Amino acid sequence: MSGFFITATDTEVGKTVVAGALAGVFRELGYNIGVYKPLQSGHVASNPEGDAARLKVLSGVPTKEDEICPYSIEEPLAPRLAMKRAGRAVTLKDIIHHYNERLKEFNSLLVEGAGGLAVPYTEDALVIDFAKELQLPLIVVARPTLGTVNHTVLTIAYAKAHGLTVAGVILSGCKECEMERVQENKVMIEELSGVPVLGLLPFLEGEFTKEEVLEAAKEYIMISKLEEFIRNESTVAHTSSN
C-alpha cells in the first residue's frame, strides 16, 4: 500500500485543503489515488461545508462523501468526545476496516487525521495509533507564523518517537507580507527537526476554486519529492507480493 497520512500541528491550519489538493494533483498525474478521513466532527459528511465534501471536490474522486468519511458528527469536538456525546462507539478496528475497503478502489490513499497526532480519536485510540497501524509516511501541515517552530518540531519528534516516517512539512496560509518570517521559520524547522519543508502554500482569500487550489499546490509544493515516496512504496509493495 502507498500514500500519505496527513496530520497537523493544530486544528484549522489547512490540512483538508492540502490533502485534497495533493490528491487532485496526483490524480492529474495519472495516479489512482483516493482520499479517506474516517472521523469528522463539526459537520456531517454530506454537508457541503464539511471536510469530506471538500476532499471530494478538490481530489476529484468518484467516492461518495459518506465513504470518504464513514463516521461524522455535527458537534465540533475531538472525535472521541463528539462520538461519545452522540452515543456512538467507533473503534480503531472499525476505521481500519473502512480503510481496507477504500484500497479495493484505489492503489494509494491520502488519509487525513483529525487535528494533531495526540488527539483522542476512536474510543480506543489516539490519532497516532491510527497512523502507526497504517505505516504511511506523514505530511505535517503547520501554520507559517509565530509559534510554528515549537509546534512543528514537537509534532515531528513525537512521530519519530513512535517509529513513524515524516516525509515533510507544508506551511499553509503563507502571506506575502510575512514571507521573510516564514522563510526564517522554514529554515529553523529544517535545522531542528531534520525534516524538509516541502511547501509554502499561499493564503487563499475568500471563495477559491478547485483549479486555483491545484495550481497553487503545483507551484508552491515540491510534488516531485512526494511523488518519489509513492513510487518507492509502490515498488516495495509490488516486490513483496511476488
Annotated binding-site positions: 12-17, 41, 51, 112-115, 202-204
SS3 label, residue 133? helix
Q: Is 37 a catalytic residue?
A: yes
Measured CA to CA, the distance from residue 35 to residue 196 in angstroms comes to: 24
Instruction: Compute how many other C-beta atoms are within 10 angstroms of the C-beta atom of residue 149.
Output: 18
> Which positions make up the binding site for substrate?
41
By the 10 Å C-beta count (0-12 exposed, 13-18 middle, 19+ buried), 144 is classed as: buried
Measured CA to CA, the distance from residue 157 to residue 206 in angstroms comes to: 34
> Which positions make up the binding site for Mg(2+)?
16, 51, 112
Tell me the C-alpha to C-alpha distance, in Å, between residue 105 and each of 46, 94, 171, 230. 20, 18, 30, 17
From 37, 56, 132, 186, active-site residue: 37
SS3 label, residue 125? strand
Strand order in the sheet with 33-36: 33-36, 108-112, 2-8, 138-142, 166-174, 197-202
> Which positions make up the binding site for ATP?
12-17, 51, 112-115, 202-204
Residues labelled as active-site residues: 37
